Amino acid sequence: MKNFAQLYADLDETNKTNEKVALLGAYLQNATDNDRLWALAILSGRRPKRTVATNKLKEWACQFGKIDYWLFEESYNIVGDLAETITLIIPPPTEVRHNESLSYWINYIRSLEKQDEEIARDKIIDAYGQY
């Protein structure tokens, strides 16, 4: 996942087509088959189906970050991006527990669809605490 996150950041930082092609080629050359498929799907706009409602992600981030919901909403209005807002309000991870692949995290997220809300909440909060 860290490799895909770095690829995404690097692609975002350049407007040079040849550089983007080189970055993507290097990633695809070193990624597993499943990670290649997911990376291409995500970069082409075909992300996985949402398995947890946005309001639940906000609520759980507030619980984990120990802030009131109204403060989250005000911050979200300023930041304008849900993932970035969540990242800014939750405590930073304190330990490296996983260096899992992109496909691992996609499957992790997809598995939440069939989970009880409390179990999904615990899994999301556990994921928030990892890097």
DSSP, collapsed to helix, strand or coil, labels residue 120 as helix
Mean pLDDT, residues 79-103 taken together? 86
pLDDT tens for each residue of 117-127: 999 999 998 88
Say what the pLDDT of residue 48 is: 81
pLDDT tens for each residue of 22-57: 999 999 999 999 999 999 999 999 888 889 999 999
Say what the pLDDT of residue 89 is: 92
Taking 90 as the threshold, does the pLDDT of residue 93 lie above it?
Answer: no
> How far is residue 64 from each of residues 8, 34, 60, 109, measured CA to CA in Å?
26, 31, 6, 18
DSSP, collapsed to helix, strand or coil, labels residue 113 as helix
Q: Does residue 130 or residue 4 have the better pLDDT?
A: 4
